[in-house]
Amino acid sequence: MKTFLLNLAAGISFFTRLPLHRLVIPPKESFSRVLPFATIAGWIVGLFAAGCWWLLSMVLPFEVCILLTITATVIFTGALHEDGFADFVDGFGGGYTRERILAIMKDSQIGTYGVISLILLFAVRVGVLTDIDENKIPALLITGAVVGRYIGVFLPSLLPYARTIEASKIQVGLTPLTPLQATVATFIAVGTICYFFGAASLIALAIASIPLPITAIYIKQKIGGYTGDCCGMLITLSEIVWYIAILAIY
């Protein structure tokens, strides 16, 4: 139980900026076991976003609430996945060899491709949230955070790590999901979307899952495996595709 709680604390600390380190400091090994807690972290992020929306909507205009909610959520997560999204686009957009792609993604500076990708990313987020029924916004924020993380964390189960562990940002390798962990994560994700949007949302989940095999095949050909930036990109992309699929269905 102690190991489980330490791994849970590591997972929440990894996916959010909640100051859990003031209560407990998980060992380095716990950060290699964060993937099973991605959907739980998704619920935390989603509830935070929905709470921000609910509070802001009481006093501010609709469009301002959308922008501030997105801003607050990015701060809450430390822009972890947005950073990976931009690094991925920079690396694969500007690199022509495996070594060059990995070097660009590791570079802390953002390039033209990354800037443009982030502008388009946030434009789509704002566009979807302003077009969907206002009453569905909290549900969309919660389910989007869960679905994106649910899909994104399967990448390490499909591919090897593309770098050496010593060259990774967190200095540990991510342990792939076990069959039981994958089943639990699926139960949480499916239960969440069906609770908020009904059985028809399974179609949206299937659509949001399409980037997973495409990304896995593409990066396998380009760099031989995944990186943290690849996971961040996939989490972000899956969330956006989920938003669009829900908007189309409902």
Q: Is residue 209 assigned to a domain?
A: yes
R_g over Cα of the chain: 18
Number of structural domains found in the chain? 1
> Within a domain: residue 113?
yes
Domain residue limits at 55: 45-249
Q: Is residue 11 part of a domain?
A: no
Residue 158 placed within a domain: yes
Nearest-5° Cα angle at 246, 69 to 124? 50
How far apart are the C-alpha atoms of 142 and 144, rounded to whole Å? 6
Q: Is the pLDDT of residue 1 over 90?
A: no
What are the tens digits of pLDDT across the range 120-172?
999 999 999 999 999 999 999 999 999 999 999 999 999 999 987 655 555 56
The per-residue pLDDT for range 32-90, each reduced to its tens digit, is 899 999 999 999 999 999 999 999 999 999 999 999 999 999 999 999 999 999 999 99
Cβ-count burial 97-125 (b if 16+ within 10 Å, e if not): eeeebbebbeeeeebebbeebbeebeeeb
User: pTM to 2 decimals?
Assistant: 0.93
- The answer to whether residue 135 is domain-embedded is yes
Q: Is residue 39 part of a domain?
A: no
Q: Is residue 12 part of a domain?
A: no
Q: Which residues contact 225 (CB under 8 A, 6 or more apart)?
A: 159, 160, 161, 162, 219
Per-residue model confidence as pLDDT tens digits over 203-223: 999 999 999 999 999 999 999
The answer to whether residue 29 sits within a structural domain is no
Q: Is 130 in contact with 102 (CB distance < 8 Å)?
A: no
Q: Please give the pLDDT value at position 27.
A: 87
